[in-house]
């Protein structure tokens, strides 16, 4: 996938997380989960941009694995929010789908970079 498209996609994901955080922070449980989601969800795009500026293939692999972990962690927090019924499941479906898709994209990207390194 084109890096510029992914930069925009991860930024939009972060913006959606910010908007969700505003809804979550109204309860104690929501505040705790929201803080965790806010950190992981907004770091996906920031860390992806850092990976795009990697100085070597090894640096890229290291950084893209961080992006993968943050996207997967975001999916985890979204699942907890959904399953604890703080916000209705249907409201979170799109964001959870996006978190899982981003995780898959960055997992694949890391694998491809590792294969190139090993050639």
CA distance 78 to 82: 6
Indicate the number of domains in the chain. Answer: 1
List, for residues 10-40, the tens digit of each pLDDT value.
999 999 999 999 988 688 999 999 999 999 9
List, for residues 57-70, the tens digit of each pLDDT value.
999 999 999 999 99
For helices 3-24 and 28-52, the axis angle rounded to 10 degrees is 170
SS3 content of the chain, % helix, strand, coil (to 5): 85, 0, 15
From residue 3, alpha-carbon distances to 21, 22, 71 in Å are 27, 29, 16
82 with 96: CB under 8 angstroms?
yes
Q: What is the CATH number of the domain that holds 55?
A: 1.20.1440.60
Domain span at residue 14 reads: 3-117
Q: For residue 2, give the 3-state DSSP assignment.
A: coil
Q: Is the pLDDT of residue 1 over 80?
A: no
Angle at 21 between CA 106 and CA 48, to 5 degrees: 20
Q: Is the pTM of this model over 0.95?
A: no
């Amino acid at each position: 996938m084109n890096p510029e498209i992914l930069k925009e996609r991860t930024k939009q994901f972060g913006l959606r997380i910010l908007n969700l955080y505003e809804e979550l922070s109204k309860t104690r449980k929501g505040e705790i989960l929201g803080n965790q989601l806010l950190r992981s969800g907004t770091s996906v795009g920031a860390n992806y941009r850092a990976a795009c500026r990697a100085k070597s293939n090894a640096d890229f692999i290291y950084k893209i694995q961080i992006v993968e972990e943050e996207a997967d962690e975001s999916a985890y927090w979204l699942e907890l929010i959904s399953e604890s019924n703080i916000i209705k499941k249907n409201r979170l479906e799109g964001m959870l789908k996006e978190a899982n898709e981003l995780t898959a994209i960055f997992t694949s990207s890391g694998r491809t970079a590792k294969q190139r390194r090993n050639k």
